[in-house]
Amino acid sequence: MEMWTRVVVVAHVLVALVIIGLVLLQHGKGADMGSGFGGGSSGSLFGATGSANFLSRATAALATVFFLTSLGLAYLATNKPRIGGGVLDAVKSQPAVPVEKAAEKSAPDKPAAELPKSPAQGSKAKDVPQ
């Protein structure tokens, strides 16, 4: 991993943990619903709750940072510098099979004296399979 990728990953994880802590500390909107039935509470489930307090503003700011680090990680993951060429460049080239070994594999029942010794000898019309 590059240095910047590590920094963004560490920041992303830390922001995620802090967001989890802030959300668990906050008082939910539906927490007053149990006492709301006949209790005469002024809070409503879907209504305006007034100005946001510190915890909700900090959660919104950290959520923005979390989304930005997510986009940053996506960018860093897709735009890596290419070290080599393509997939075929990573494949090691294997040496070609010599003519004698290729001929032995194709005709194992022929004696070695009848096998062609060079490509020029093997180019006769009678040696070409039809």
- Domain limits, the chain: 1-27+53-79
Other beta carbons within 10 angstroms of residue 52's beta carbon come to 11
SS3 assignment, position 113: helix
Pick from 32-36, 58-62, 76-80, 126-130: least confident: 32-36
Long-range (24+ apart) CB contacts under 8 A made by 77-80 are 77/5
DSSP letters for 38-103 = TT-----SSS---S--HHHHHHHHHHHHHHHHHHHHHHHHH-PPP-SS-HHHHSPPPPPPPHHHHH
| 77 alpha carbon, distance to own chain's centre | 7
Contact 57, 46 (CB under 8 A): no
**pLDDT tens across 7-37, in order?**
999 999 999 999 999 999 988 776 666 655 6
pTM to 2 decimal places: 0.50
Question: For 65, left (φ over 0), alpha (ψ -120 to 50), or beta?
Answer: alpha
Nearest to 19 by CA among 72, 80, 79, 61: 61
The 10s digit of each residue's pLDDT in 63-122 is 999 999 999 999 988 887 666 666 676 666 666 666 666 556 665 565 555 555 555 555
